[in-house]
Chains A and B, each alone.
Chain A
Amino acid sequence: MRHIISVLLENESGALSRVAGLFSARSFNIESLSVAPSEDLTASRMTIVTSGNDAVIEQIVKQLDKLVDVIEVSEITSSDHIEREIVFVKIKDSDTENENLKSLKTNEFLKIHKAENGHAIIECVDSPENVNEFINTVKDIAIKIIRSGAVGIGS
């Protein structure tokens, strides 16, 4: 099952490697990982999307918590939360008139940017289900897809 784990960790060099290394060393899955400064400038917030049964997730949380640089770990998908992902898709300018895309154009979470060399870039910020649906819709015309990985917050 898919889970999002939010980690607050000391903003020290190598902290990211400790987390990434832990996942590879213990054969835990990482679907996506994003890291950025938090409200506290000396700490970073990391959002990890992973999957596994309850025992695996329990181990992931415990192992993360054991890292000396980690201040706080929470699994946010087991209770109320909000999550979003940003996706950029580069397409040919001519494909902006694509039938499938047209149906999405009314979506308030979508923006289309003009790009150089006859390209256009679609920006989508949405929930994971909608992002997946969007990607399915555009995958045949996509030249490049760039995803941020999800970030989330318990509500």
Chain B
Amino acid sequence: MKQNTDNNNEKFTGAEIFVKCLEAEGIELVFGYPGGAVLHIYDELHKQNEVSHILVRHEQGAVHAAEGFAKSSDKPGVVLVTSGPGATNSITGIADAYMDSVPIVIFTGQVRTALIGNDAFQEVDTVGITRPCVKHNFMITDVKDMASTIKKAFYVATTGRPGPVVVDIPKDITEDKCEFSYPDSVEMRSYNPIIEISDDSIKQAAEKILSCDKPVIYAGGGVINSNASEELTKFAKYLNFPVTNTLMGLGCFPGDDPQFIQMLGMHGSYEANMAMHDCDLLIAVGARFDDRITGRLDKFSPNATVIHIDVDPSSISKNIKAHIPIHGDVKAAVNKLSEEIISKNLKPKNIDRWWGQINEWRKKDSFKYNQDSDIIKPQFVVDSLYKVTKGDAFITSDVGQHQMWAAQLYKFNKPKRWINSGGLGTMGFGLPSAMGTQFANTDSLVCCITGEASIQMCIQELSTCLQYGLPIKIINLNNRYMGMVRQWQEFFYEKRYAMSYMDALPDFVKLAESFGHVGIKVEKSSDVESALEDAINMKNRLVFLDFITDQNENVFPMIATGAAHNKMILS
């Protein structure tokens, strides 16, 4: 590890070094919450202006905000919390970032090294608790390791398949002193994210691509993480192949392009799932074949040759055997495939018959709904938001029915515009991630599509939004049910709605107002568009739009757990 020593012999405390490291790393924003073990660090943050600290109201909110920041920008998110409950409160966010491969670094305070293992006040084994849900974690036990560990933490979090990295810092380390120098490069013999892509696999893949009759490109969040949307789009357009996206991949291929056959999976479109089932060539790009995508594994794409491009080799052939594995960075792999095909001006076979079939399936219009009365259909709100924002907003969501409708109906034309919790499915993600998104995109419109159950899980962050003047628009699809739970109970538990009814709801308008924001209740379908326009026109205010929606609406299509792709419930 190379080191640049600028300040010969001058010694700094660990807390000073911590802040200098963030500066050296180019970090401008830290989301956090103070506490005993991190007070030295907070004191140093207070003394300078290079690194801003955003005070959240709960540590879970800090991590989701950092996730939103990272997902909607090209920078890692940074979190600072105290020991014990500060660390445990952040676990849900850390696990969320791990499942969705979000590059964030979480600094946790720890009790003094002499107290570790003594059940000290606010002590918890943070490294132990976070181990299964981080890409890597460190504990700093000597102030001399502070700079090199922080450098490594950012390096590991942001390279390869990105993910959360936790750095646990005992309090005494932040007062110990040593010289400061920030390494300008990292070498870790046990971690090498730069992968040479095999030419053989590229050649094999190109051959299949040029000889198939019924191809599908199945693109996921890895395309966005690898900044490969442009390359993938160019490649798919050249080939005229149909493209479907995972929930995490939405926006990596233009949502309004005729080649886009919508999202696939449990609540994906009829055409996407049928195409996945019937295809003879499946090109998986930065996607991981999770169970919400594949449904029943032994009936999944029974006749397809599978090409799987992924930076994480453990994602390849984990659930679905890849016939042609391409291990490497998605962008590099797509570029190599393009060189092999586009640069040589090679043409794929004519697939008009396949498109004919897909267009037949499309006619089912499987995301359709009927807005035929005063009662607001939740889908209509999403549709109207798409119309009013011209498809150009940053949309965050919570988890449940509203998330699926947002994914189905808001057409994302750009990557990093759709910020949601896919893998872990964390209710409470929407509002804090919208804060991070707004911080990363200060002049853009950020909307949080949520439900009355999810929003209450991190509602305290409305206070953070006021403190920092974040003009987020909250689109609350209020059906007085935990909608997705109710839907499953309707389908699979003979309508026994155990605990899925949201009793004793707050008056969201008054609630928003009590936090210093604007609240608007919308009860008639004819008022939806104008309410959205009014909210968006209040450029400097957070507006909480409480849409009272149809209680009985379900998300369709649906593939029941364990069913095959061609066994969709359509209505």
Verify B189–A71 contact, CB threshold 8 A: yes
Q: A17-B131, A68-B135 are contacts. A10–B190 as well, Cβ < 8 Å? A: yes
Q: Max chain A CB contacts within 10 Å: which of B127, B128, B313, B316?
A: B313
B190 engages A69 (CB within 8 Å):
yes
The 8 Å CB contact of B190, one of A21, A25, A70, is A70
Bound-state CA distance A65–B156 (Å) is 15
Taking CB atoms, residues of chain A closer than 8 Å to B127 are 14
> B492 on the interface (CB 8 Å rule)?
no
B159-190 interface code vs A (CB 8 A; 1 in, 0 out): 00000000000000000000000000000111
For A1-30 the 0/1 string (1 means CB < 8 A from B) is 000000001100110011001000100000
A10 to B189, CA, bound (A): 9
Q: Cβ of A9: which chain B residues have Cβ within 8 Å of it? A: 190
Counting CB contacts under 8 A, is A31 at the interface? no
Chain A interface, DSSP helix/strand/loop, else mixed: helix
Report the bound CA distance from A68 to B139 in whole Å: 14
Q: Contact between B136 and A68 (Cβ–Cβ < 8 Å)?
A: yes
Interface check A83, CB cutoff 8 A: no
Q: Tell me if B413 counts as interface (CB < 8 A to partner A).
A: no
A68 and B317 form a contact (CB under 8 A): no
A137 within 8 A of B: no
On whether A62 and B128 interact (CB within 8 A), knowing A68-B136, A71-B189, A71-B190, the answer reads no
Is B132 close to A, CB under 8 A? yes
Most buried by B among A9, A13, A68: A68
CA distance A25 to B127 in the complex (A): 16
Shortest beta-carbon distance from B186 to chain A in Å: 12
Does residue A148 face the partner (Cβ distance < 8 Å to B)?
no
A63 on the B face (CB < 8 A):
yes
Q: Smallest CB-CB separation from A60: which chain B residue?
A: B314
Q: A10-B190, A59-B318, A71-B189 are in contact. Are A65 and B313 (CB under 8 A)?
A: yes
A55 to B128 Cα, complex, angstroms: 29
How many B residues have CB within 8 A of the partner chain? 19
CB pair B135–A14 under 8 Å, yes or no, is no
Interface of chain B residues 97 through 154 with chain A (CB within 8 A): 127-128, 131-132, 135-136, 139
Residue on B nearest A63 in the bound complex, by CB? B314
- Complex contact A68–B131 (CB within 8 A): no
A95 to chain B, nearest CB (A): 44
Chain A proximity of B546: nearest CB distance (Å): 41
| Interface residues in A37-57 (C-beta closer than 8 Å to B) | 55
* Alpha-carbon separation in the docked complex, A25 to B156 (Å): 22
Contact A58 B189 (CB under 8 A): no
Contact A25 B132 (CB under 8 A): yes
B259-297 residues at the A interface, CB under 8 angstroms:
none
Instruction: Report the separation of the CA atoms of residues A9 and B132 in the bound assembly, to the nearest whole angstrom.
Output: 17
Which residues of the other chain, B, contact A59 by a CB distance below 8 angstroms?
A: 314, 318
Measured CB to CB, the nearest residue on chain B to A71 is B190
Say whether A62 contacts B131, CB under 8 Å. Answer: no
Q: What A residues does B553 contact at CB under 8 A?
A: none
Taking a contact as CB atoms under 8 Å apart, the answer to whether B156 and A66 are in contact is no
- Check if A14 sits within 8 Å of B312, measured CB to CB: no
Q: Which residues of B contact A71 (CB under 8 A)?
A: 189-190
Q: Which of A25, A62, A63, A68 contacts B191 (CB 8 A)?
A: A68
Q: Which of A60-105 contact B (CB under 8 A)?
A: 62-63, 65-66, 68-71
Which residues of B lie under 8 Å from residue A70 when comparing CB positions? 190
CB-based contact B131/A21 at 8 Å: yes
**Which A residues lie within 8 Å of B189 (CB)?**
71
Closest chain A CB from B324 CB (angstroms):
16
Q: Is the CB of B131 within 8 A of A66?
A: no
> Per-residue CB proximity of B302-342 to A under 8 Å, as 1/0?
00000000001110111001000000000000000000000
Our pick among A14, A55, A63, A65 for the contact of B131 (Cβ within 8 Å) is: A14
The answer for the CA separation of A71 and B128 in the assembled complex, in Å, is 21
> Contacts of A14 on B, CB cut-off 8 Å?
127-128, 131, 139
The chain B residue with its CB closest to the CB of A55 is B317
Interface residue from B131, B191, B318 paired with A18 (Cβ < 8 Å): B131
CA distance A94 to B350 in the complex (A): 85
Partner-B contacts on A (CB < 8 A): 9-10, 13-14, 17-18, 21, 25, 55, 58-59, 62-63, 65-66, 68-71
A sample of 11 more A-B contacts (CB under 8 A), given A65-B313, A69-B136, A69-B190, is A10-B190, A17-B128, A25-B132, A58-B317, A59-B318, A62-B313, A65-B314, A66-B313, A68-B156, A68-B188, A71-B189
- List 17 A–B pairs whose Cβ atoms lie within 8 Å, in order of A's numbering: A9-B190, A10-B190, A13-B139, A14-B127, A14-B131, A14-B139, A17-B128, A58-B317, A59-B318, A62-B314, A63-B314, A65-B313, A65-B314, A68-B136, A69-B190, A70-B190, A71-B189
User: Which 9 A-B residue pairs are closest in the complex by CB-CB distance?
Assistant: A62-B314, A68-B136, A71-B190, A68-B191, A25-B132, A62-B313, A63-B314, A66-B314, A10-B190
